[in-house]
Amino acid sequence: MESLEWLSEDGTFAAKASDKAIEFIRHQCVAAGHQETGGILVGYYTPKRECAIITKASEAPADSRSGRLRFYRGVVGLRDWLARLWRGEKREYYLGEWHFHPAKSPDMSSLDTAQMKDIAQNGSYRCPEPLLLIASGHPSSSFVVSLFVCPHGKPPMRMQPCSVPPPPNQHED
Ligand SMILES: [Zn+2]
């Protein structure tokens, strides 16, 4: 799968996800079967903060709770992982959350909206504009990925996918 890019409708937020992060999420969704799952997104902003670059995603922490229609992400192991990433060459940090909705549409649920609002206003995340990536459909055939930005004090915004040129080794004929 090629890397994905999004732009908010008002043009103020842009984001990009690496193939590696999307493939990792897809594998987690396959493993989850009919249960929801999720984790966090990490990466960094470009120097002028005009674009969020999602480089990696976590698996669901061991203390997460999930069902067919709900997911509460746990915290076990995330603090150490984030500390290691921050000390790394790319200085990656928390950018938001990802969810798998196997039995629902790729939209934010009311629970999702409430959780993202909490994250945006919770100082310990240091993330006033968290992203929520929602994977839905069947991970090995009709896998759909959508992205929302949830700025503190504003309603969440759905990001629009941008067209990405195909990799050079693919031809359309
Ligand atoms: Zn959700």
Q: What is the pLDDT of residues 61-113, one digit of tens each?
A: 999 999 888 899 999 999 999 999 999 999 999 999 999 998 778 899 998 99
Q: How many helices (H) and strands (E) does the chain have?
A: 3, 10
d(CA 155, CA 58): 26
d(CA 85, CA 97): 16
Pick from 20-29, 112-121, 162-171: least confident: 162-171
pLDDT given for residue 131 in this prediction? 97
> Ligand 1 (ion): which residues have CB within 5 A?
99, 112
> Domains along the chain?
4-161 (3.40.140.10)
Q: Which residue has the higher pLDDT, 50 or 164?
A: 50
pLDDT at 173 over 70: no
pLDDT given for residue 1 in this prediction? 43
Q: Which of 8-12, 37-41, 142-146 has the largest mean confidence?
A: 37-41
CA 129 to chain centre: 12
> What is the whole-number distance in angstroms between the Cα of residue 47 and the centre of ligand 1?
30
> What is the whole-number distance in angstroms between the Cα of residue 109 and the centre of ligand 1?
6
| The amino acid at 39 | G
Q: What are phi and psi of 56, to 5 degrees?
A: -145, 160
The mean pLDDT of 26-39, rounded to a whole number, is 93
d(CA 79, CA 53): 20
The mean pLDDT of 52-57, rounded to a whole number, is 97
pLDDT given for residue 11 in this prediction? 85
Q: Is 172 labeled as catalytic in the residue annotation?
A: no
**Helix residue ranges per DSSP H, the chain:** 19-32, 78-87, 110-121
> What is the whole-number distance in angstroms between the Cα of residue 103 and the centre of ligand 1?
11
Q: pLDDT tens across 143-171, in order? A: 889 999 999 999 999 999 886 555 555 55
Q: Identify the active-site residue in 36, 92, 97, 129.
A: 36
